[in-house]
Each structure stands twice: as structure tokens, then as C-alpha cells.
Structure 1
Amino acid sequence: MSDSEPATTQSDAVPDPDVDVSPSELIEQAVAWLEAEPDDDIRRELTTLVDAARTDNADALADLADRFSGRLQFGTAGLRAAVAAGPMRMNRLVVRQAAAGLGRWLLDQEATGAMERAAARGVVVACDARRKSDVFALDTCRVLAALGIRSMLHPGLTPTPVLAWSITGLDAAAGVVVTASHNPPADNGYKVFLETGAQIVTPIDVDISEQIGAVDPLDVPLAAEDDHLIQRLDLSWQEAYVAAVPQVRLRPDVPGVPVAYTAMHGVGAETIEMAFAAAGFDPPIPVVEQHQPDGTFPTVSFPNPEEPGAMDLLLETAASSGAAIALANDPDADRLGAAIPQADGSWRRLSGDEIGWLFADHILTNTSGDDRLVVTTLVSSSLLGRIAEAHGVHSEETFTGFKWIGKLALERAEVGQRFVFGYEQALGYLVADRPLDKDGITAAVLMAEIAACAAADGVTLQGRLDALADRFGHYVTAELSVRIPPSEGATWVAAIEADPPAEVGGVAVVGVESYPEANLVRLKLDGGTRLQVRPSGTEPKVKLYGEAVGMEPARLESLLESLAATR
């Protein structure tokens, strides 16, 4: 599942179209799974499903086919799916298979000389508060230990940025965090990081996936829970991460302002409070109902700050508390949402691009050097490039998915470019040089500083955005998703490339750009509007992105709808 797009249940559970399994074979596979399944609750639900399938119940057979016709594939951020039985769901057998594949890949890296001392350096492991996260994390350690690979397990519940940050500090060969990030409550996931603290990239994800495919999930050796290769870490790495947070502040002389905050039932609250204190800010004003970790997400059906309604309680808290800004982490705290007050007393949720513009303006205004580099993704706003140009610094666009931003930051460092900021429109921001992944905690601290600077200067955050619009033009962005079978999405993109439309919504198409590595096509319309199309790599849908300058949002949305209608 791509961490750069809103998730849906079973986001990585894409059935293999070449797998055609008979009902009897499905039942046979399910029974074999039952014999290996270690958890009673999963055994009970699968037993019920098998019993129904044996009566030729069509729904039960369809459910079995959905679970057993293939296996979860590594998306741009590892594995994600609903917690349930079968190779197309998240469960302990699938996690053990994934851990074994990762371990085998690490051993191969050591054997070929591509990575020194991989087994001894080991893997850092952490988890969030979702269903079975703790046992998934421990099973990962036990599988690695059985392969002779050291593991280091973070205590309790750990934000993803803390896990990623600790990888380089521990000089580990890799990192794993058990989390489904902002997916619906029924899901869990498995995210893998490289030794750099960045997420896995192609072709490494393909190599690991091949290793996983060679492992029988029903027969994965396990070491004992107290094996000497399993090291239990203490809280010192969380404390070290927090101690480094003040480095992101660029105006430490400016006093803080009231900040409303929600952890969205995730694991960010404790670390955020520590981070704010270390940075010299008062604790944020919490949404009490969402402050403690709770994997059932009782107050929000879709714990993603991008989703309509997800930040409603936060906006109520912000309005009643006199906050200057409202901030939201997603459940594993690697994303940041924000809302700002308006002149009429209402609150407006910012788009991911608007947050990115505020960060870019603040960072580039308060740093120096023509070696600076800012990075965004192809589907994010092009305004970042305009801001960078005005400051005389380097800017780059890369593929969708934050792993590509981390990769580009490393590559450009080799030619003397200094990464200072990266973002993607799906609320992912990197405002520090470590970890090389999106970090909603350090981003929250710097956004609190941006709000404080605006207050000290006697302007509003809306005023900051209006000033950027006055300087560069009023940039408008929009998105649209069209649900179609995965194979049809790629076909549609190829058809647009081969025979692009002459016009969209009455506006002439004046240029076409293809990005085959991202499976994306960009149409340039008369007047500067750009429309982009790409199929989701993990969901049965195509995503369309629009950007224009000086256009009414409704008009841009209608252009996307017109493009969608050409399919």
C-alpha cells in the first residue's frame, strides 16, 4: 500500500488474476492453514468460514477465494491488510513468512558482500497499538533469531519516526515497524526500513518479495522468546530522539502559541508532549477522547487526517481552547495534518500542499546556502519549485511515495546538495536530516514554530498563505479517485499516452509527459493547468490529480471529472 494515498481495507490484498482455485482446493488450503494457525481467535473465525464453505455457501466460498488466491505483496510501504486468516490477510503466519524473507535477504546481502555484518548488526523492531501488533513484532524477532540474526525490540508502543530514527543510531542492517498507519481499524501492516532509516525501494522490495515467496508460511522456524539474539531495548532511544527534536527549530527565540492536538488514538501523544517540552513549547492542548492509544479507534472510523470528519473533534477543541493552530498525527505519528482559524471564527483544514508551502517558506527564509535542496513528488504541487527558485536553491520532483524522497536526498548529498525539506501532498513531511522518512512529530514542532512566528509578526497563517499567492499566483490543487479493476488502470494510462485527448472539459491539451517508472501520465492544458493520472499499485482504482493557477477549485474538479469520463 502506498503511504502517499488514502488507504482502504486490504490495501495490499490484490488477488492474483492467474490463480484459479476450485472450491475443494480452497477448503483444503484453509484446513492446512488451520493446522498451523497459532491464534485461537483466528482459528475460530476461519473454522466458521470453512464450515460454511463446505455447505457450498457462495459468500463463504468467495471469502475463501479472496483470502487464498495469492499472497500479500509488498507495496511501496510493505504489507497491509485486514487482520484475519489466510495468505491475503495480516496474521502471524504471514508475518513470520515476511520476517523469514527479510532475514534471508539480509543473509544474502552479507554473503555477497553487499552489506557487512548484516546478521550481527541486526534488525530494529517496533510496533503500534493495533490488533496483534505486539505478537507480530515478537514473532519477527523470533524468526530472525532462528536464522541467526540479531534483533532489537523497542519497548511498548513506538511511533514510526522513533523506530526509523533509531536504525542509524544502532547501526542496524534494517528496521521493521508493525503498523497499518492511517488504515481503517480492522487493518494491520508491516513496514520495512533500510539501514539508512529510509523505506525500502525498488529493486530491493522486489528482491525481498521474492525471498518471502520462497518461504512456506505454514512452516517457519521460531526461536524461543528469550533467545539471546533478541535484545529488549529500553526507553533511551525515545529519549535520544526527543533530545534531538529542538534542532529542527529555526527561530528558538520566538515564544510558543497555544496548539490543539490529536493523536487520533495512535501512539504519538507521549512523544509529542516530550518533543514540545524539549523544544521549549507548552504542552499541546489534547483532544482528550483521542489522546490514548486504542487500536479500535472508537471515535473515528477512518483514522486518517486527510479523511472528511477525521479532524472534527480536533477542530472543536481548537475553537473552544483559543488555539492558534490545530495539529493532527495519524496513528503511527509519521504524518501531520493541520487546520487554521479564519477571520469569521471558523476553522479550515489545510491541504497537504498548503502545509508544504508553509514549511518551505519558513525553512528557506530562515536558512541559507545555495547548496540547499528541497524535494517533492510528481503529484504534489509545483509551487515548491517556484519557491525554491526564488530562494536560489535546488528543487527536485520524484516518484510517489516518501521512500523516493529519502533516496533522492542520499543521492544528491553525493554531489554536494544539502537536503533541507521534503514533502508529499498526502501529509508526509521531512524537516530534519534524520530519519530519511516522513516524521509527523518533528513536523508538528516546526509547524508550531511557524504559527508562533506568524503571531509574533502580527499576521495570521492564512495571511502567510495569501502572501505566497500574491507573490507566486493562487495555486489550486484537486484529486479524484475512480474505482476500476487494477489491470484496467494501467491500460487506461497507456491509452492516454498513445492517443491523448485533444481537449479536456473544453480546454485544449497542449502537451503530454510520461513517467513510466511511476506509471503516470501528465497532460498539460492551455493556460498552464496540469492533470495527472496513475493507477494505484495496490487498490482497484485510478487516481487523478489536478493543479492550476488562478482557477476556481470547482472548475479544476470538473476538469478531473471530464478526464475521468474519457475512460
Structure 2
Amino acid sequence: MTLRFGTAGLRGPVGDGPDCMNEDVVVRTTAGLARWLDARGSGGTVVVGRDARTGSAEFFAAATEVLAAAGFDVVALPRPLPTPVTAYAVRTLDAVAGVQITASHNPATDNGYKVYTRGGAQLVEPDDREIEAAIDAVGDAASVPRVTVAPAGDELVARYLARVASLPRSAARELRVALTPLHGVGGETAVAALRAAGFGDVHVVDAQFAPDPRFPTVEFPNPEEPGSADALLALAAEVGADIAVALDPDADRCAVGVPTPDGWRMLRGDETGVLLGDRILAGAPRGALVATTIVSSSLLGKLAAARGARYAQTLTGFKWLARAGDGLVYAYEEALGHCVDPDAVRDKDGIATAIVVADYAAELKTRRRTLVDALDALYREFGLHLGDQVSIRVTDLARIGAIMSRLRSALPAELAGEPVTATDLATAAGPLRTDAVVLEGASVRVVVRPSGTEPKLKCYLEAVAPDGDRGGATARLRALRAWASALSDG
């Protein structure tokens, strides 16, 4: 079995053989990418970056050397850096492609190979299949020519920092930030970006700040996972922070923590999503486009309609969100990915998101309000939208297909006490065709789909109620959670 392209590239365990991430696989993949670019007449610049995972330095060197030998002008970023820096460099240099060596938030055993095409968006079909065919035509890795490449300087990093530092819209800067990069590569860049934007009161989780491919203090290096932000929230409470920020290991995702009367908590991706959507639309021209995915909350669509904006819904993944349409000013997915500056980075960007969140929180603070207050105001306007996710992790991937088959054979007519309509997107026409089932009622919504990056079946839950009926919404969400959890039975 050979490791195949999935979400915008390769991702898998580091190890020997064609079904794992190793130097031979990277060499042959890069040679295939080079052939594909040549066949399209796309000579020119290719940007290559990396994170600090096991194998990243070797895979980075292999990718740069193969591309240089194939005749491309290779910009090798100078050190382990966040994925958004690579996406920015591809777009700002008008490069024909970009490669980032990263497995994002996957377990420590994994690494990956992410591909950007011209314009800085992630690779999509059918390009991935065409590149796979080109890889299959490459001979033994030892026969692929390689040429050593000198690393680039810090100019592109400085340009990226200047760009994200320009995103704040208010002059307010009185804000205390607690931050963790979860042992990834985002810490130094995030602190530099916040300071460049005027937010100098930043406190970091020391034990998680330096890049460490073992990710020793977290079970999974993903800010979505329960417990991953515990050290961050403890620090935030200790230093009296106004907001807390957790980045995933390659810093393209951003999770936000907030103080509440009951203590600190992390906002869900949908909560941050609607807050940022409202913030960005307030400064956008009428008719601007915002987008999210089929598994995200329905609230952004209602917000867009009320603010005179256009709204698009795509399949999961920023390879689709980045192509949602002309006039895009903001896109997000509930898995903590936010694109707040699509003119510069056509992908999710945790660093830029942290800047925009800090700017919004600082402005609210001048009015003695918080992000929680702003979220409550949206709930008063549009109704309470409570979300949750149930993830069924498996060791045998065949179980995911079995569960989906069982669900399709007995689609429920009722959930949480109300009738629902089922839509099987596997049989849908158009761009939303995918392996997912959507169940919708007047005040409930569930989407069930296999994860594209992890061995999981994911269930995305939403319950809607008038703002004063939190008890009713909570009860419906609890019922949805119980139904989703029971999918793994049998």
C-alpha cells in the first residue's frame, strides 16, 4: 500500500516503506510534483517551509533539493515556521507552488507534506490525482537528482509580521494575553506578531513554548482535544489575562479562551467564528462574502443575511473555503480554522486570527465589555445556538465505513423529540457531494462524516432556541450527544 494524497497532500506515520512518511517518499513525491508543474508549463518559484516534527528537517531538505535540481527557483524558508508563513509567501511571491512539511495537529508519530498551488490555496481535485499519477511514474528515489539549496533570509517572515500587525482596526491596546503554541512552531512568531501589533502584555506557557516533536505535556497536540488547553487556562487565571490563545503545532489553527463568572473556558470554533464574522463584516463593503462549511453552525448564514453580506457553504477544509467565491472577506471552519485576511493568506491562519481577536477584545474592553458579552448580544439577536461534537476514534478504519452504512440503512425520523429530514450527501448533486449524512429539524442539526485527517468518525451537533431558553437548548443538545455516542454500538 502507498501513502496517497488526502487533505491537500500527504499525511501519515513516520517510518519505513511506501505507506509511511520517509525521505524516499518525499523525494518521489517532490519529483512527481515537479513533473506535474513542468507538464502545465508552470516553471518559476516554489516556496518550501517546515515545522519541527520528527523528520521535518530531512524531508524539507529533500523537497528543496529535488525541486532545485528540476530547475525551479526554490525559496527555502530559513527555519521551522508556521504554515501560514508558507501560504503567505506563495501568494505574495506569485509562486507556482508551495510545500509545507507538517502534520498540523496530528499525533507526534506523524508527519506530512502539504501542497499549495499558485495563489496560495491548498491543492484540490483533480490536481492531486494528476500529481499521484506523476509520482507513480517516478523511478527509485535514489535516481532522482538533488541539488543543495541555501536557506532564504528573514525578509518574508518580516513581511508577514508587518502584514498581520496591520490588521487591527482600533487603537485600543490595553490587553493581557495568555498564549501557548502546544510545543509547536507558532510561539516565537505569535509573540512577535502580537508585539508588532502593539499587544506587548503577553504571557506564555513556558513548558509548552519551545518546539518539541514529542508534545510531552498533551495526549494529542490539538487544541480541540479535552485537556489540551488546561495549562493555558491555568496560566490565564494566574496572571489575570483578558483572553487566552492556543495555537496548534503548525499555528494555522487558533483556539480562544475567555473568562466567565464560572471560570475560564475555551470558545468553540463556531463561537469564535460568528464573533469574527460580525467583527469583519462591520468593516467590509456591503455584499462582501463570508463562508463556512457544511459541519459548522448555521448562525453565520443568518448573520450574513442581517448584515447585507453574501454567504457560502462548502465542503470541509480550507481548500474549498479559500475558493468560496469572489469578494471573500472571512471564512472559518468549526475545527478552529479562521481565514481573517484572505487577500494575504488564502488558508487558515492562527497568528492573524490571534491578532484580530486581540484587537476586538481590546476595543470591547474600552467599553467594559468582553467577547462573551458580544457573543451574548448575537444570541439575543439571532437565538441561542449551542454546538458540540462527538468524535468516535477507531483503530480499525473499516469500523467507520460500517457505522456509516448502518446509519444510512436506518436513518432516524426524529432526534431530540422533533422530526428531522435526512440528506445523504454521498448521493447529492453538485459541489457538496461527500461522504456525510445531514439530519435537520426546526431547532436541531446533526452532520455525521468521517474525518479527513484522523482515524475518527465525527458528529457535529447544533441545538437552537430563543435566547431565554438555554435549558431547552441544553436538553436537546444532550439528547443529540447521547444519540451520536450510541452510533459506535453494535
* TM-score (ref. length: structure 1): 0.79
Q: Counterparts of 1:111-150 in structure 2 under 5 Å?
A: 118-119=42-43, 121-150=44-73
Q: 1:248 and 2:167 equivalent?
A: yes
Q: 1:173 and 2:99 equivalent?
A: no
State the alpha-carbon separation in 2 of the partners of residues 262 and 72 from structure 1: 32
Q: 1:197 and 2:120 equivalent?
A: yes
State the alpha-carbon separation in 2 of the partners of residues 135 and 218 from structure 1: 14
- From 144, 151, 162, the equivalent of 1:232 is 151
Structure 1: gaps spanning 5 or more residues: 1-69, 111-117
Match of 2:335 in 1: 426
Contact in 2 for aligned 1:490/1:519 (Cα 8 Å): no
Distance 1:270 1:283, change over 3 A: farther
- From 529, 532, 535, the equivalent of 2:450 is 535
Q: 1:104 and 2:22 equivalent?
A: no
Match of 2:315 in 1: 399
Contact in 2 for aligned 1:82/1:187 (Cα 8 Å): yes
After superposition, give the CA deviation of every residue in 1:237-277 in whole Å (9 maximum; x if it has no partner): 000111111332122x2223101011111111221122112
Distance 1:97 1:313, change over 3 A: same
Distance 1:369 1:204, change over 3 A: same
Q: 1:386 and 2:305 equivalent?
A: no
Contact in 1 for aligned 2:416/2:480 (Cα 8 Å): no
Contact in 2 for aligned 1:101/1:215 (Cα 8 Å): yes
* Structure 1 residue 499 displacement after superposition: 6.0
* Structure 1 residue 480 displacement after superposition: 1.9
* Structure 1 residue 521 displacement after superposition: 2.1
After superposition, give the CA deviation of every residue in 1:147-175 in whole Å (9 maximum; x if it has no partner): 23332111111111111101122221100
Name the SS of the counterpart of 1:547 in structure 2. Answer: strand
* TM-score (ref. length: structure 2): 0.91
Contact in 2 for aligned 1:263/1:330 (Cα 8 Å): yes
* Structure 1 residue 488 displacement after superposition: 6.0
Name the SS of the counterpart of 2:89 in structure 1. Answer: helix
Match of 2:278 in 1: 361
State the alpha-carbon separation in 2 of the partners of residues 530 and 248 from structure 1: 34
Q: Please tell me the residue identity of whatever aligns with 2:413.
A: A
Contact in 2 for aligned 1:266/1:330 (Cα 8 Å): yes
* Structure 1 residue 491 displacement after superposition: 6.5
Contact in 2 for aligned 1:250/1:363 (Cα 8 Å): no
Match of 2:438 in 1: 522
State the alpha-carbon separation in 2 of the partners of residues 220 and 455 from structure 1: 61
Q: Please tell me the residue identity of whatever aligns with 2:132.
A: S
Q: Counterparts of 1:490-529 in structure 2 under 5 Å?
A: 490=401, 493=404, 500-504=411-415, 506-512=417-423, 514=425, 516=428, 517-525=433-441, 527-529=442-444
Q: Counterparts of 1:28-107 in structure 2 under 5 Å?
A: 70-107=1-38
Q: Counterparts of 1:262-411 in structure 2 under 5 Å?
A: 262-344=180-262, 346-365=263-282, 367-408=283-324
State the alpha-carbon separation in 1 of the partners of residues 415 and 464 from structure 2: 17
* Structure 1 residue 511 displacement after superposition: 4.8
Name the SS of the counterpart of 1:142 in structure 2. Answer: helix
Name the SS of the counterpart of 1:166 in structure 2. Answer: helix
State the alpha-carbon separation in 2 of the partners of residues 490 and 386 from structure 1: 34
State the alpha-carbon separation in 1 of the partners of residues 163 and 319 from structure 2: 22
- Identity of matched residues, %: 42
State the alpha-carbon separation in 1 of the partners of residues 351 and 138 from structure 2: 37
Larger mean Cα displacement after TM superposition, 89-98 or 475-484: 475-484
Q: Please tell me the residue identity of whatever aligns with 1:250.
A: R
Distance 1:150 1:231, change over 3 A: farther
Structure 2: gaps spanning 5 or more residues: 466-472
Distance 1:84 1:341, change over 3 A: same
Match of 2:464 in 1: 549
Contact in 2 for aligned 1:264/1:290 (Cα 8 Å): yes
State the alpha-carbon separation in 2 of the partners of residues 74 and 186 from structure 1: 18
State the alpha-carbon separation in 2 of the partners of residues 237 and 135 from structure 1: 22
* Structure 1 residue 184 displacement after superposition: 1.4
Asked which structure has the greater CA Rg, the reply is 1
* Structure 1 residue 342 displacement after superposition: 1.1
Q: Please tell me the residue identity of whatever aligns with 2:55.
A: K
* Structure 1 residue 233 displacement after superposition: 1.0
State the alpha-carbon separation in 1 of the partners of residues 5 and 243 from structure 2: 37
State the alpha-carbon separation in 1 of the partners of residues 141 and 60 from structure 2: 18
Distance 1:473 1:152, change over 3 A: same
Q: 1:461 and 2:371 equivalent?
A: yes
State the alpha-carbon separation in 1 of the partners of residues 403 and 205 from structure 2: 43
State the alpha-carbon separation in 1 of the partners of residues 251 and 199 from structure 2: 19
After superposition, give the CA deviation of every residue in 1:481-508 in whole Å (9 maximum; x if it has no partner): 3356555645765675676333345532
Name the SS of the counterpart of 1:156 in structure 2. Answer: coil
Larger mean Cα displacement after TM superposition, 496-505 or 476-485: 496-505
Q: 1:479 and 2:397 equivalent?
A: no
After superposition, give the CA deviation of every residue in 1:170-221 in whole Å (9 maximum; x if it has no partner): 2211000111111112221111111111110111112112222232454441
Name the SS of the counterpart of 1:250 in structure 2. Answer: coil
State the alpha-carbon separation in 1 of the partners of residues 140 and 236 from structure 2: 48
